[in-house]
């Protein structure tokens, strides 16, 4: 009789969002007139920008004509898009060439798949709290060891607490990792890392022979000067870092699907094996390219017109973030994030647990957020609110919380 992949049996149930949905559904059933505002969503709500819609229409028409029809896309992605991405890196002073960019269907797939090119016994370090994809994809690959219920952690992973005391940037772990996942600006804390701090991580990774997998999905939300948009702004990153980007949060592509990963050719393992070659091989074997139509739409993001329109969308969410941040601060809450990210990470009042605060908000003011403990043990006593709602509802939700 066949056996299923035993690693999958170690996965902990993704209770977070299903528990939230169940609690909200039960509350709505008991209180059908409650006007619930959801500030828990990690999905954008504004429609695609006009320049992107125009390009989508054009590309669809091209697909209907013999002369301009496109079949399989090139493995790495179309050059028009990879050139536009490479130009953006150049504009930031990062030395990334077109053939180091791999276009994909999004940052979730890439951040989940990238672990495949590392050895099975690679030691993995993740932040705590964390975007769950990094953890679960390594559990599936057999790198986790056993789940320890009393500690809410896996035995073989290195967890790097991100707390108030370190301003939500991890310290170097005691044990040397092989793979380090970093995500800045961060989901869920909304906090970020200075260029000098990221440079220290790059130097550390080069020193101990580790790879940094850098998720920059929220790069477009950076407002402060000292915050790096790319890890390749740091010296030496070409020999230790892979960067993953998305079109989801900057251009609203969550339902369109497009992202990319940068693997520099200088990145080699202990035996000189090129990670670029392995990722190219993996991409060529398991992926047949992002759709032409979508890549055309993605390229618009890098045009002046596209930039102007998507900047407006990002500003809209940034304004919501300000409303949440300032409003909560006025109301006496301790708040983090929100300045360079669409996430606000607030400390629960009166030492409530994250779930107690969730119930309190839902029942007393009909606002839904996300309990911080769902992102890792260090998220306990914290709560995440997102800026992806409408301005009007965001203002109303914060007014309600202030009046609580
Ligand atoms: C939303 C998000 C992504 C984006 O994923 P896509 O698959 O490109 O939509 C990646 N990483 C983090 C941390 C995110 O929050």
Asked if 364 and 383 count as a contact pair (C-beta separation under 8 A), the reply is no
249 Cα nearest atom in ligand 1: 1
pLDDT of residue 283: 94
pLDDT of residue 14: 73
Cα 342 to middle of ligand 1, angstroms: 13
User: What does the alpha-carbon distance between residue 91 and residue 190 come to, in Å, rounded to a whole number?
Assistant: 25
- CA pseudo-torsion sign 393, 395, 396, 401: positive
pLDDT of residue 243: 99
User: What does the alpha-carbon distance between residue 372 and residue 384 come to, in Å, rounded to a whole number?
Assistant: 6
Cα 234 to middle of ligand 1, angstroms: 23
Ligand 1: which residues within 6 Å by Cβ? Answer: 42, 106-108, 111, 131, 183, 187, 215, 217, 246, 248-249, 254, 259
Query: Which residues are registered as beta bridge partners of 125?
Result: 158, 180
Cα 44 to middle of ligand 1, angstroms: 11
Pick one of 3.50.50.60, 1.10.287.110, 3.40.30.10, 3.90.1150.10 as the CATH number of 6-46+305-403.
Answer: 3.90.1150.10
Domain boundaries, the chain: 6-46+305-403, 53-302
Identical fold at 6-46+305-403 and 53-302?
no
pLDDT of residue 15: 73
Cα 364 to middle of ligand 1, angstroms: 31
Of 192, 168, 170, 169, nearest to 347 by C-alpha is 168
Among 43, 102, 109, 246, residue to substitute to test ligand 1 (most atoms within 8 Å of Cβ): 246
Cα 139 to middle of ligand 1, angstroms: 19
| SS3 of residue 318 by DSSP | helix
User: Does the pTM of the predicted model rise above 0.95?
Assistant: yes
Torsion angles phi and psi, residue 348, rounded to 5:
-70, 140
Pick one of 3.40.640.10, 3.40.50.150, 2.130.10.10, 3.40.50.300 as the CATH number of 53-302.
Answer: 3.40.640.10
Of 72, 69, 96, 75, nearest to 84 by C-alpha is 96
In order along the chain (404 residues), what is the average pLDDT of each group of 10 residues? 97 86 96 95 93 98 98 96 98 97 98 98 98 97 97 96 97 98 98 98 98 98 97 98 98 98 98 98 96 98 98 98 98 98 98 98 97 96 98 98 94
pLDDT of residue 16: 87
108 Cα nearest atom in ligand 1: 7
369 CA to centre of own chain:
18
């Amino acid at each position: 009789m066949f056996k299923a992949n035993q690693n999958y049996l170690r996965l902990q149930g993704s209770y977070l969002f299903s528990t939230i949905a169940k609690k909200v559904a039960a509350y709505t059933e008991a209180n059908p007139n409650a006007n619930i505002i959801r500030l828990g969503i990690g999905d954008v709500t504004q429609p695609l920008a006009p320049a992107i819609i125009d390009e989508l229409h054009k590309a669809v028409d091209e697909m209907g004509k013999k002369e301009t029809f496109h079949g399989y896309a090139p493995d790495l992605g179309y050059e028009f898009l990879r050139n536009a991405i490479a130009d953006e890196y150049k504009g930031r002073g990062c030395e990334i060439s077109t053939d180091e960019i791999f276009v994909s269907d999004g940052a979730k797939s890439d951040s989940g798949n990238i672990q495949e090119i590392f050895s099975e016994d690679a030691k993995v370090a993740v932040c705590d709290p964390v975007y769950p994809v990094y953890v679960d994809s390594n559990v599936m690959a057999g790198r986790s060891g056993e789940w320890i219920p009393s500690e809410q952690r896996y035995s073989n992973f290195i967890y790097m607490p991100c707390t108030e005391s370190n301003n939500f940037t991890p310290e170097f772990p005691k044990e040397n990792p092989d793979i380090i996942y970093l995500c800045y600006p961060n989901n869920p804390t909304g906090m970020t890392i200075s260029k000098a701090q990221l440079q220290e991580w790059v130097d550390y990774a080069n020193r101990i022979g580790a790879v940094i997998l850098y998720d920059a999905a929220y790069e477009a939300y950076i407002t402060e000067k000292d915050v790096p948009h790319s890890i390749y702004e740091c010296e030496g990153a070409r020999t230790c870092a892979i960067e993953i980007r998305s079109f989801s949060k900057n251009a609203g592509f969550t339902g369109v699907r497009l992202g990319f990963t940068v693997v520099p050719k200088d990145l080699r393992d202990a035996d000189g094996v090129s990670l670029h070659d392995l990722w190219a091989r993996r991409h060529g074997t398991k992926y047949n390219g992002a759709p032409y139509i979508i890549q055309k739409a993605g390229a618009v993001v890098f045009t002046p017109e596209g930039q102007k329109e998507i900047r407006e969308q990002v500003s809209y969410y940034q304004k919501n973030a300000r409303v949440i941040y300032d409003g909560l601060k006025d109301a006496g809450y301790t708040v983090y994030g929100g300045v360079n990210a669409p996430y606000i990470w607030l400390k629960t009042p009166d030492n409530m647990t994250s779930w107690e605060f969730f119930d309190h908000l839902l029942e007393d003011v009909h606002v839904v957020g996300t309990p911080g403990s769902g992102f890792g043990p260090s998220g306990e006593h914290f709560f995440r609110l997102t800026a992806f709602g409408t301005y009007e509802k965001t203002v109303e939700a914060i007014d309600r919380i202030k009046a609580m």
